[in-house]
Amino acid sequence: MATLDHSLWLNGSGTAVDGSVVVNDGSLSTTVTADFTGNWVSADPGNSGQDINSNFATSDRTADFSFSEDVENLSFSLNGVNASGAYNDGYRVLVLDENGDPIPAADITVTASGSGINFTTNASGEIVVDPDTTSTRVVSFSADGPISRIVITSTPSPDGSITGGSGISDFTFDVASPPPCFVAGTMIKTQSGLVAVEDLQVGDMVLTQDSGYQPIRWIGSRAVSGRGRFAPIKITKDTFGNDRDLMVSPNHRVLVSGWQAEMMFGHYECLAAAKALVNGDTIYRTPCTEVAYYHVLFDQHEIIFSEGALTESFHISAVSLNTVASEARDEILALFPELIGQSVASHQLAKPELKVFEAQMLSAGLSARAA
């Protein structure tokens, strides 16, 4: 879980200014860019719980936050919200998904610390917060995501002509990362023949490159939006020895081998993330509405046969554990209790791994020679 401290936007005089900041979430990170209109300032001493305040606004003020990497499980609150006479701490909140589309209000949890706060949704998809109480309230928001942007507008409308003093708390969120795994329908080579990944069972014996047949210890799945960074990648037939088109998630690693890899990186066999091998011809993204991704875990990291190509099994690491649901993470750590409490839970990689830019260099070299 990461925290965005809004005091980072304040200059020496206590006024919020536009800028960008990198927020880390374990081994993951996202760059948050803020764009403020109107005068957002440091919190009033009497209104604790927020870092940036909108005081005495007579027209709309916006605080616009965008994320370079989508985030999930985002939570924040609007604090000190109330209304009295001409004063009205109204807000409009717009939360955008990974495609830049408004997330439906039904998928956002909004609660108030007491009565007298009205919620509606306007035609733009904004959640409208309209207080009708002189008592100050805390209005809390949470959304699962993925989320690419959030725009918070402070406004005295519709019932007032000026805002009082209220503001925005810090954000907490998880940085989203596409899980490394197979798309449903991928055929895996087992002791019983080819089996679709979604039909595999714990205990099934799967053929590995280095360890013969190995039993599956755990299988997990996750349905996500198939757009944006989560869009599956198609590796067309014969690209890496696969006898059918192979569909994997962007972070799923494929075994690449040959004298080019050995000459450039000192290893005949290397693992490369599919996203780094995209060439727009034989390897490309295939956006869809929703995609089901499947994880297959063994006692150790293995290279297995998927559609005839050599690709990785699920690799336990701090990064990969962040991509699965908390229930799945608990199941994995129950199977491998020796990893509990380690600062970086990890199994050793089966093969050397190329960095993204290294894999891109190798892919460009292979494409140039094939041309």
Residues 255-287 pLDDT 10s: 999 888 898 888 999 999 898 899 999 999 999
pLDDT band at 97 (very low <50, low <70, confident <90, very high): confident
Residues 34-92 pLDDT 10s: 999 988 988 754 444 557 888 888 899 999 999 988 888 899 999 989 988 888 899 99
pLDDT band at 228 (very low <50, low <70, confident <90, very high): confident
Domain ranges of the chain: 2-175, 182-370
> How would you write the chain as a 3-class SS string?
CEEECHHHHECCCCEECCEEEEEEECCEEEEEEEEEECCEEECCCCCCCCCEEEECCCCCEEEEEEEEEEEEEEEEEEEEECEECCEECEEEEEEECCCCCECCHHHEEEEECCCCEEEEECCCCCEEEEECCCCCEEEEEEECCCEEEEEEEEECCCCCCECCEEEECCEEEEECCCCCCEECCCEEEECCEEEEHHHCCCCCEEEECCCEEEECCEEEEEEEEECHHHCCEEECCCCCCCCCCEEECCCCEEEEECHHHHHHHCCCEEEEEHHHHCCCCCEEECCEEEEEEEEEECCCCCEEEECCEEEECCCCCHHHHHCCCHHHHHHHHHHCHHHCCCCCCCCCCCCCECCHHHHHHHHHHHHHHHC
Q: Which CATH class is domain 182-370?
A: mainly beta
pLDDT band at 217 (very low <50, low <70, confident <90, very high): very high
| Identical fold between 2-175 and 182-370 | no
Tell me which of 26 and 45 has the higher pLDDT. 26
Residues 126-183 pLDDT 10s: 999 999 999 989 999 999 878 889 999 999 877 778 888 889 999 999 887 766 789 9
Q: Which CATH class is domain 2-175?
A: mainly beta
The pTM of this model reads 0.61
Tell me which of 101 and 309 has the higher pLDDT. 309
